[in-house]
Amino acid sequence: MIKRIKATQLVFPFIAMIALGSCNPEEKEKIPMVENILLQDWVGPYGGVPAFDQLKVADVKGAMLQGMEMKLKEIEAIATNPDAPTFENTIVEMERSGAALERAFSYYGILSGNMSSPEFREIQTELAPLFSEHESKITQNEKLFKRIKAVYEASLVNPLPVDQQRVIDLTYTSFSMNGAELNAEKKASYAAINKELSSLYTQFSNNVLHDEENYVTYLTEEQLGGLSDGFIKSAARIATDKGEEGKYAITNSRSSMDPFLTYSTERELRKQVWTNYYSRGDNGDQYDNNKLIAKILNLRKKKAETLGYSNYADWRLQDRMAKTPENAIALMEAVWPAAIARVAEEVQDMQAVANTNGDNITIESWDYRFYAEQVRKEKYDLNSDEVKQYLQLDKLTEAMQYVAGRLFNYKFTPVPEGSVPVYQEDVKVWEVTDLTTGDNIGLWYLDPYAREGKRSGAWANTLRSHTTFDGKKNVLATNNSNFVKPAPGEALLVSWDDATTFFHEFGHALHFFSSNVKYPTLNSGVRDYTEFQSQLLERWLSTDEVINTYLVHNVTGEPIPAELVAKIKNAATFNQGFSTTEYLASAIMDMKLHLADPTNMDIDKFERETLAELKMPKELPMRHRTPHFGHVFSGEGYATAYYGYMWADVLTADAAEAFAEAPEGFYDEEMAAKLVEYLFAPRNSMDPAEAYRLFRGRDAQIEALMRDRGFPVTTE
C-alpha cells in the first residue's frame, strides 16, 4: 500500500485527500513568530534529511498552522500576479509553493502512522478540520483558478511540451473535480462537507487504533500448543513489555493474529483472537465506527451531488484507469464465481482433514487458516513453518536489494548508525546509489517492527520525492511493516505471504526512487495503477536467483533444499480461493456501499445482506470488514478504489508472463530496461494505459490473471 505524504494530500495515516484552509484570527495569534523546527530546511548529507532527532509533538500544532499560513501567502501571490498567466508564472509557482508545509507534513505523517500517542491524537483531531478549510481556501480561490484555466485553455490551442501539458491537465482536472467551478453557495457547501469528513476520518482511524491497542489475548504456558518457539518467545517478550510477566501476548494485529490462527491447536482461543481482530471498530462502544461510516457515506453522496454527480463512485473514478464503477464491477464479477467455487473446494478438503482427525467440528472462519495448513501438508507435503525457517527478514532485505541491483542498477549501502537521524531506534537507513551514473539518488528507511502507537499493516511513503524543476531532489522513501519483534538473539522469521508483502512494499519504494519526472505533480499516482508496480515486484521473490542465494536456514545457514522449493512452486496456486475471495468481498463491498442510497443505512445490516447476495462463503470473512476498513473510511484515497488491487493484478499477471517468456526470464536485461523506462520511471507523466502498451505492445488481458490464480479460463 502506497502512502504518500503531501502538503495538500494527507492520507491515513496518509491515505486520502483531505482539504486544506485558513486559520481563524484567534489561531493566527497563537502561531509562533520564531520559525518552527518542523518547518525549517533540511540540512546535512544527501541533500538534507529530516531532523527526526528533534521531533517533538509539542511543535506539531504550531508548525502546521504557520506552514498553512505561509502557503496561503504564496498562493495569494500567484493568484494576484498582475502579469498574464503563463505556465511558468502560475503552474510552476504552484509546484514550488508550500515547501515548508510539505516538510512539516513529513513529520506529521510519521507521528500519525508510526509514532502515534494520545497527545498527538488530540492535536490530530483539532487540526483535521483546519487542514480541510485550508485546502478549500486554495481550490476555491477564484483568481487562482482563473489563471489555471487560462493556461489550460491556451494549451488546447498551442500544446505545451509533453510533461508540462500533463501537469496542466492534471492540475486543471483536480481543481475542477474539487469544485473550483461551483457557484459561491455550492462552494461553501462543498467546503463544509470536506471539513466535516476530515474530522470523521481522523475519528475513524483513532477508533481502529484504539481497538488494535486494547484487545490483547494473554495465554498461559498450557495454551501454546502448535506455536513455534520463535513465536512463543516474541509473545512472551510482548507480554512482559505490557506488564504481564510469565504470560504470552497475542496482539490485535495481523502479524500476530495470522500465525496464531494458522498454528494454534486451541480452537476456542483461535475463535477469541479471530473475533478480536475482525471486530475492530464494531464493539458497540464509544469506539464503534458503524454510525461514523453512515455519516461518511451520506456526506460523500452530498459531496458528489454538489459537484453534479449521482453518486460518489461516478465522481471518484473519472480520472482512474477504470473510468466508471461499471467497468470496475465487471472485472470483479468476472473473477468472483471462480473464486468462491475454489473456496468450496478448499473447505471440502479442510473438512475432510478434520473428519479424518476425528475433530468433530464444522469448519468456521477461525478454523480456515489452521486446516488450510493441514491440507497444504497433506496435498503438497508442504509445511509453512518449515518454509519459515528459510525466510529471515535480514536475508529478505538483502534479496530485495539484489533484485533492485539487477533490474534498476541500484546499490544499497547501510548508513553508519547515528549519521542520519531516525525517529525510533529500530529504524535502519540505507544510501541508494545509481551505479550507472555513480550518483546518490536517495535514502531508504526501513521500519520493520510492530509497536504501540504504530498503525497495523504494511505501507510505503515518501518523505521527499524526486523532481528536477527547481534543482534535483533526492528521494527519501520509507518502508513500514508490523512484524512481531523477535526475542534478543533470535532471527525474525516470516511466512511466505509476509515475505511477498515485504517485496510488494519495496516495489513502491523502487517506484519512488526510479522517478525521472521534472514536476512534483507528476509523482502523483493513479490509484488503480499505482499498486501494479509493487505487485509485479512480488514475482522476484520466487525467482531461482533469490531462492538459491538468500533463502538459507536460520540456524544451519544451509540453502533451502531443492525439493522444498519444488513443493513451494507446486503449491503456488494453493488457497487462492481464500485470498482472492476475502479481498474481492472487501472490494465489492466498497463499491456497493458507495452506489447504494446511504439514507438511514444500517451499516451492519447492509454488510450482512450484501454478503448474502454475493453468496459469500460463511467460512471466511472479508479481508477488511467495514467497521475497520481504513483504506476506504480513514480517508478518500482508496474509497471506491479498493478494486484497484485486482485491476493492477491483471496488469501484473500479464507483465509477469512477458518476463517469463523473455530469453533470460525475470532478469532479462532488455525487459528490465523496458520495465524501468515505461512502468516505473514515468510515474504519472503519461497515461497509464499508454505506458503499459509501450511496455507490452498491447493491453493487458484478464486471462493472464485467471491462469495465474489457477482458475479456469473461459474462451468465447
Single-letter amino acid, residue 238 = I
Q: Whole-angstrom Cα distance, residue 398 to residue 401? A: 5
Whether residues 255 and 305 share a domain: the answer is no
706 neighbors 712 (Cβ within 8 angstroms): yes
The string of pLDDT tens digits covering residues 571-594 is: 999 999 999 999 999 999 999 999
Q: In sequence order, which residues have a C-beta less than 8 Å from that of residue 67 and are 6 or more positions away?
A: 7, 36, 38, 39, 98, 100, 101, 103, 104, 105
Contact indicator for 412, 444 with CB cutoff of 8 Å: yes
Distance CA 391, CA 496 (A): 7
pLDDT computed for residue 1 by the predictor: 64
Model confidence at 667, pLDDT cuts 50, 70, 90, reads very high
HEC-encoded secondary structure of 398-411: HHHHHHHHHHHCEE
Question: What pLDDT score was predicted for residue 527?
Answer: 82
How far apart are the C-alpha atoms of 536 and 392, rounded to whole Å? Answer: 22
Residues 489, 84: Cα–Cα separation, whole Å? 66
Do 263 and 359 lie in a common domain? no
Instruction: Give the DSSP H/E element, type plus range, for residue 570.
Output: helix 562-570
Please tell me what DSSP assigns to residue 516: -
**In 3-state terms, what secondary structure has residue 220?**
coil
Same domain, 303 and 374: yes
- Binning pLDDT at 50, 70 and 90, where does residue 168 land? very high
Q: What is the mean pLDDT of residues 548-565?
A: 96
- What's the total number of domains in the chain? 3
Query: Which stretches of 87-151 are assigned E, i.e. beta strand?
Result: none
- The cell for 326 is 461499471
Residue among 215, 235, 362 nearest 278 (CA): 215
pLDDT tier, 456 (very low <50, low <70, confident <90, very high otherwise): confident
Task: Say yes or no: 103 and 55 in one domain.
Answer: yes
What's 480's DSSP letter? Answer: E
| β pairing state of 475-483 and 459-464 | antiparallel
Which one, of 41, 164, 1, 191, lies nearest residue 95 by Cα?
164
Q: How is residue 82 written as a grid cell?
A: 498582475
Cα separation of 280 and 274, whole Å? Answer: 10
Is there a contact between 419 and 450 (Cβ–Cβ < 8 Å)? Answer: no
Averaged pLDDT score across all residues of the chain: 93
What's the whole-model pTM score? 0.90
Please report where in the chains the cell 492520507 appears, as a residue: 11
Residue-level pLDDT at 10: 30
CATH code, 368: 1.10.1370.10
* Strand partners for 433: 411, 440
Instruction: Show the domain range for 296.
Output: 290-382+575-633
Query: In the structure, what pLDDT confidence band is assigned to residue 34 with cuts at 50, 70 and 90?
Result: very low
pLDDT, tens digit (0-9, with 9 covering 90-100), for 226-276: 999 999 999 999 999 999 999 999 999 999 999 999 999 999 999 999 999
Q: Give the three cell numbers for residue 22.
A: 485558513
Asked if 41 and 171 sit in the same domain, the reply is: yes
Question: Among 371, 471, 484, which Cα is nearest to 426's?
Answer: 484
Backbone angles phi, psi at 614, to 5 degrees: -75, -10
Report whether 242 contacts 269 (CB < 8 A). Answer: no
Pairing of strands 439-449, 428-434: antiparallel
- Same domain for 53 and 121, yes or no, is yes
Domain boundary residue, one of 616, 633, 650: 633
pLDDT at 716: 52
CA triple 653-659-664, angle to 5 deg: 160
With the C-alpha atoms ordered 667, 669, 675, 681, is the resulting torsion angle positive or negative?
Answer: positive
CA distance 565 to 547: 8
* Phi, psi for 448 (deg, rounded to 5): -90, -20
- Looking at the fold, whether 136 and 271 belong to one and the same domain comes out as no
CATH of the domain at 72: 1.10.1370.40
- 528 lies in a domain? no
| Cis preceding linkage at 159, omega within 30 | no
Separation between Cα atoms, residue 478 and residue 505, nearest integer Å = 9
Same domain for 154 and 35: yes
Residue 236 covered by a domain: yes
Tell me what pLDDT residue 528 has.
87
Q: Is 716 exposed, middle or buried (0-12, 13-18, 19+ CB in 10 A)?
A: exposed
Band (525; pLDDT cuts 50, 70, 90) = confident
Of 79-93, 264-278, 481-495, give the lowest mean pLDDT range.
481-495
Q: Could you tell me if residue 398 is inside a domain?
A: no
Which residues have CB under 8 Å from 270's CB, separation 6+?
Answer: 260, 261, 264, 366, 367, 370
**Is residue 85 located within the same domain as residue 219?**
no
Q: Is residue 651 part of a domain?
A: no
Is 40 found in the same domain as 177? yes
Distances in Å between the Cα of 19 and the Cα atoms of 133, 304, 399, 629 are 6, 15, 40, 21
Cα–Cα distances in Å, from 394 out to 3, 82, 449? 24, 58, 13
Integer Cα distance of 540 and 440 in angstroms: 24
Spatial separation of the C-alpha atoms in residues 692 and 273, rounded to whole Å: 43
From the list 614, 561, 568, the residue with the least C-alpha distance to 590 is 614
Could you give the CA distance from residue 412 to residue 446 in angstroms, rounded to a whole number?
12
Whether residue 20 is predicted with pLDDT greater than 80 in this model: the reply is no
Identify whether 192 is part of a domain: no
509 assigned to some structural domain:
no
Query: 446 has which bridge partners?
Result: 428, 479
Say if residue 345's pLDDT is above 50: yes
Asked whether residue 177 falls in the same domain as residue 54, the answer is yes
Q: What spatial distance separates the first Cα and last Cα of the chain, rounded to whole Å?
A: 35
In-domain check, residue 204: no
C-beta of residue 331 within 8 angstroms of C-beta of residue 569: no
What three-state secondary structure class fits 332? helix
Whether residues 317 and 247 fall in one domain: no
196 lies in a domain?
no
**Which of residues 278, 299, 318 is at a domain's end?**
278
Query: What's the pLDDT at 715?
Result: 59
Cell of 314: 461516478
Cα 627 from Cα 291, distance rounded (Å): 9
CA distance 95 to 86: 13
How confident is the model over 594-645, as pLDDT tens digits? 999 999 999 999 999 999 999 999 999 999 999 999 999 999 989 999 999 9
Burial 238-277 (b: 16+ CB within 10 A, else e): bbeeeeeeebbbbbbbbbbbbbbbbbbebeebbeebbebb
431: cell is 544510501
Tens digits of per-residue pLDDT, 117-158?
999 999 999 999 999 999 999 999 999 999 999 999 999 999
Give the integer Cα–Cα distance in Å for 182 and 192. 14
Q: What type of residue sits at position 489? A: G
Rounded mean pLDDT, 457-461: 94
> What is the per-residue pLDDT across 64-73, written as a single tens digit (0 to 9) for each?
999 999 999 9
Q: Average pLDDT in the 14-36 region?
A: 41
Q: Is the pLDDT of residue 5 over 90?
A: no
**Which residues of 222-316 form beta strands (DSSP E)?**
248-250
Place of cell 500567484: 78
